[in-house]
Chains A and B, each alone.
Chain A
C-alpha cells in the first residue's frame, strides 16, 4: 500500500476502534439480547403486541410526542416568522433567548419546572395570593407538567429549521403578492406558508423523534402512572430484565431511525436540516 492510501486509514482508525469498543459493541451486544435470550428467537417481540404494560407505555409515549410536537409547532412557527423579518439586532437578541435554553442542560430546565409547578411553587403561590384557590393544585407529576416542560425544552428544535427556511424565501415574492392585491394574511397563507412547509416538516419530525426518547424530564416532573418508553427501559434494567429492556430499545431505536430516514427522503426537508445546523 502506498503512503497516500494508507494515511487516511491510520488517522481515522483510532477513533473508529475506540467507538467500536466503547460504544458500538456495547450497544449492539445489549440489543442482541432481544433475539438471543434464552436461545435465538423472535418470541420477545411477538410478546410485545399482547403486553398490556408495553401498550400502555407506548400509547403514553406517542400521545406525549404528538402533544409536544403540536405545541412546539403552534408556539414555534410565529417566533420563526417574526425572527425572519426582524432587523439584525433584534434578531440576534431573539436568537440568544432561543438558544440559551438550548444549551442549558435538560436537568436544569426540568428542575426549573419543578420549582414552577410544585405544591409551593410559583404558580400555586400566585394563585393562592390572588385567593383563587384554597388548597394547592396538583400540577407537578402530571402529564400536563411533562407536556409543558418538554415543549419548553424542544421549542428551539422547531424554531431553528423553520426560521432557516423562512430566511431563504425571496422577500419580493410576498411583496409581489401584495402588489397584486393580496391582503397581508392572504400573501402569508398563499405564498409564505406553502414555501415554509419543508422547514415545518423538518422541525415536526425532529421534535417528534426527540420526544419519543425523552427520559430525564418525564422521570422528574411526570407521574408514576404515565411512564414513557425510556423510563420503562430504565426500570427493566434495574430489574435486570435484559431481554425485555433490549426488546424495548430495539423498538425505540427502530422508530427513531424510520422517522429520521423520512427526513432524508421527503423533498426539501433535508436542506432545512443542513441550514438549521449552521
Chain B
C-alpha cells in the first residue's frame, strides 16, 4: 500500500521534530558568539578550542574513557562467560539468573543509583573511579549477555563437541572454535557496554563526588550554572563518537549475518 500525502507530511514533521534539536546543538557548537544565540552571528571553532584548552574538560574526558574501558573489560568477560552457560542451566535457575542479569534494564535509574550510593558510601567508594566501574559494569552487563546470547542462538554446539572429541581441552575448544564464531556478538556487546558507561549520568551524580567527575557529570554541573556553548561542542563530539561506535556495531552485525 502507498503512503498518501497527508501521512507523509505528518511523518516528515515528526522526523523533523526528532532530528532538529540534535542538528541545532551541532550548529550552536560552531557558533562564534560568546553566549548562546541562534542563528549564530558567524561560524568558527571557538568552542572546540575552549574545550581542548580546558584541563577540567579534558580530565573528565579521559576519566570517562578510562571508566568505560574498564567497564567494557569487566562486563564483556563476565557477561560472555555467563551467556555461554546460561542456556545449560536447569530451567528454574536459568529464569532466576536471567531475571537478575537483565533487571538493570527495568529497575528505574534513580532506584539503582541511590541503592548503589547507599552501599558504596559505606564502603568508601564515593569519588573513586573504582566505584563507577563496579556500578557501570552491572548496568552494561545486560547488553553483553543479550548480544552474545543472540549470536550463540545461531551457533551449533556440536562444533564444540567435535573439537573436544578430537582432543581439544575445554579452553582450547572455546578459544579456537566457539570464540571466533561468536566474536561479532561479543564485540557488539562490548560497544554497547562502552556507550552505556560513557553516557551514564544518574549513578555518576551520586558516586562521582569531587574526585571522579565524568564527562556527563561535568556537563550536568555546567548546565546547572550557565549554559556555555562549550557544552554544545562536547555534546556534538559525544554524538559523533557514539554514532561512530554504533555504525561499527551495525557493520559487525551485518557481517555476522552473512
Query: Closest CB-CB distance, A79 to chain B, in whole Å?
Result: 5
Kindly state the separation between the CA atoms of A215 and B89 in the bound complex, as whole angstroms: 37
Main secondary structure of the interface of B (DSSP, over half): helix
Residues of chain B within 8 A of A216, CB atoms compared: 201-202, 220
Assuming A12-B82, A249-B110, A252-B108, is B219 touching A111 (CB within 8 A)? yes
Kindly state the separation between the CA atoms of A48 and B53 in the bound complex, as whole angstroms: 50
**Does A76 lie at the interface of the complex (its beta carbon under 8 Å from any beta carbon of B)?**
yes
**Does B8 lie at the interface of the complex (its beta carbon under 8 Å from any beta carbon of A)?**
yes
Number of interface residues of B (CB under 8 A): 76
**Does B216 lie at the interface of the complex (its beta carbon under 8 Å from any beta carbon of A)?**
yes
Assuming A22-B134, A171-B1, is B22 touching A109 (CB within 8 A)? yes
**Contact at B89–A113, with CB atoms within 8 Å?**
no
Residues of chain B within 8 A of A113, CB atoms compared: 21
Assuming A11-B81, A120-B35, A171-B1, is B114 touching A249 (CB within 8 A)? yes
Kindly state the separation between the CA atoms of A106 and B219 in the bound complex, as whole angstroms: 12
Residues of chain B within 8 A of A10, CB atoms compared: 85
* Of B43-51, B179-187, B234-242, the one touching chain A: B234-242
Kindly state the separation between the CA atoms of A120 and B33 in the bound complex, as whole angstroms: 13
**Does A26 lie at the interface of the complex (its beta carbon under 8 Å from any beta carbon of B)?**
yes
For B14, B86, B195, the residue with the greatest tally of chain A CB atoms inside 10 Å of its CB is B14
Kindly state the separation between the CA atoms of A247 and B192 in the bound complex, as whole angstroms: 32
Instruction: Name A208-252 residues within 8 Å CB distance of B.
Output: 212-213, 215-216, 220, 230, 233-234, 237, 242, 245, 249, 252
**Contact at B82–A15, with CB atoms within 8 Å?**
yes
**Does A107 lie at the interface of the complex (its beta carbon under 8 Å from any beta carbon of B)?**
yes
Instruction: Encode contact with B along A96-121: 1 for CB under 8 Å, 0 otherwise.
Output: 01101101111111011111101011
Partner of B85, one of A12, A78, A100: A12
**Contact at A22–B116, with CB atoms within 8 Å?**
yes
Kindly state the separation between the CA atoms of A22 and B139 in the bound complex, as whole angstroms: 11
Kindly state the separation between the CA atoms of A256 and B231 in the bound complex, as whole angstroms: 33
Residues of chain B within 8 A of A242, CB atoms compared: 118
Partner of B114, one of A94, A103, A237: A237
Query: Closest CB-CB distance, A176 to chain B, in whole Å?
Result: 12
**Does A24 lie at the interface of the complex (its beta carbon under 8 Å from any beta carbon of B)?**
yes
**Does B72 lie at the interface of the complex (its beta carbon under 8 Å from any beta carbon of A)?**
no
Assuming A14-B78, A27-B115, A30-B119, is B109 touching A215 (CB within 8 A)? yes
**Contact at B115–A29, with CB atoms within 8 Å?**
yes
Assuming A26-B120, A107-B201, A249-B111, is B141 touching A78 (CB within 8 A)? no
**Does A43 lie at the interface of the complex (its beta carbon under 8 Å from any beta carbon of B)?**
no
Query: Closest CB-CB distance, B134 to chain A, in whole Å?
Result: 5
Instruction: Encode contact with B along A65-109: 1 for CB under 8 Å, 0 otherwise.
Output: 000000000011011011101100000001001101101111111
**Contact at B17–A75, with CB atoms within 8 Å?**
yes
**Does B88 lie at the interface of the complex (its beta carbon under 8 Å from any beta carbon of A)?**
yes
**Contact at A19–B21, with CB atoms within 8 Å?**
no
Partner of A105, one of B74, B82, B145, B238: B238
Kindly state the separation between the CA atoms of A66 and B25 in the bound complex, as whole angstroms: 29
**Does A55 lie at the interface of the complex (its beta carbon under 8 Å from any beta carbon of B)?**
no
**Does A7 lie at the interface of the complex (its beta carbon under 8 Å from any beta carbon of B)?**
yes
Residues of chain B within 8 A of A24, CB atoms compared: 100
Kindly state the separation between the CA atoms of A196 and B227 in the bound complex, as whole angstroms: 43
Partner of A106, one of B36, B81, B201: B201
**Contact at A27–B116, with CB atoms within 8 Å?**
yes
**Contact at B201–A108, with CB atoms within 8 Å?**
no
**Contact at B7–A27, with CB atoms within 8 Å?**
no
Assuming A213-B108, A234-B110, is B118 touching A26 (CB within 8 A)? yes
**Contact at B119–A29, with CB atoms within 8 Å?**
yes
**Does A8 lie at the interface of the complex (its beta carbon under 8 Å from any beta carbon of B)?**
yes
For A22, A23, A152, the residue with the greatest tally of chain B CB atoms inside 10 Å of its CB is A23
**Contact at B219–A118, with CB atoms within 8 Å?**
no
**Contact at A85–B3, with CB atoms within 8 Å?**
yes
Instruction: Name B118-169 residues within 8 Å CB distance of A.
Output: 118-120, 134-135, 137-138, 141, 145
**Does A207 lie at the interface of the complex (its beta carbon under 8 Å from any beta carbon of B)?**
no
Kindly state the separation between the CA atoms of A82 and B35 in the bound complex, as whole angstroms: 40
**Contact at A19–B100, with CB atoms within 8 Å?**
yes
**Does B42 lie at the interface of the complex (its beta carbon under 8 Å from any beta carbon of A)?**
no
Residues of chain B within 8 A of A120, CB atoms compared: 35-37
**Does B28 lie at the interface of the complex (its beta carbon under 8 Å from any beta carbon of A)?**
yes
Q: Please give the residue numbers on chain B whose beta carbons come within 8 Å of chain A beta carbons, in ascending order.
A: 1-4, 7-8, 10-11, 14-15, 17-19, 21-22, 24-25, 28, 35-38, 74, 78-79, 81-82, 84-86, 88-89, 97, 100-101, 104, 106-112, 114-120, 134-135, 137-138, 141, 145, 170, 195, 199, 201-202, 205-206, 216, 219-220, 223, 227, 231-232, 235, 238-239, 242-243, 246
7 cross-chain pairs, A with B, having the tightest CB-CB distances, nearest first: A213-B108, A27-B115, A112-B21, A26-B119, A11-B85, A8-B85, A105-B199
